Amino acid sequence: VRTDELRRIIDYWLTLAELEGGTLARQRVRVDVKDVVARTAAAYETLAAQNEVTLGLEMPDPAYPVRGDPTCIGVLFDNLVTNAIKYNRPGGRVCVRAEQQHGEVVIEVADTGIGIPQAALAFLFDEFYRVRQPGQRKVEGTGLGLPICRRIATEHGGVIEVESTEGTGSTVRVRLPAYPESDTPEPGRHA
């Protein structure tokens, strides 16, 4: 277990180093956020079940395309969904919702978990910062996931916001520029 934790820390450090060098997003292609989130949710069904958390998706549109690096977008939602599961409570719920509005794809990861104290919200995206609450069960982590998420969102021209009520739950909202309709490839041409 300790080896896995050290490996995760090293992976996060390497990711941060790549972000600092501006090399993490190596490509800018059409990425369907709906597909990325659906794969992420499927990958974490077991973790959700182990934590007695229900995981649901509310994405009524057929697609939510953005321009970005598929790996980066995957890392972003992987982190947000796992946090929502890990910081939840037995019998809780995680819901990922998406919509398109005003040239943006807006994705919310909402949970019915333990919430975040108001005083901690200002520090959530600081490297190595971890919220410690009395009576909270031990949750593994490095304090690097959310800073990486913010970097990915920013690098893709977007923003990430957090709303939380202690004891009730949290909602993390990611706004990314929608893939421009004018960039839709003609038949036989790839983006």
Model confidence pLDDT, tens digit, residues 25-67: 667 899 999 999 999 999 999 999 999 999 999 999 999 999 9
Cα(132)–Cα(34) distance, rounded to whole angstroms?
A: 32
DSSP-assigned states of every residue in 121-145: HTTTTSTT-----TTPPP----S-H
Predicted confidence (pLDDT) per residue in 17-34, tens digit: 665 665 556 678 999 999
> Please, what is the end-to-end C-alpha distance for the chain in angstroms?
42
80 — phi, psi (to 5°)?
-65, -40
CA–CA distance, 102 with 114 (Å, rounded to integer): 32
Q: pTM for this one? A: 0.79
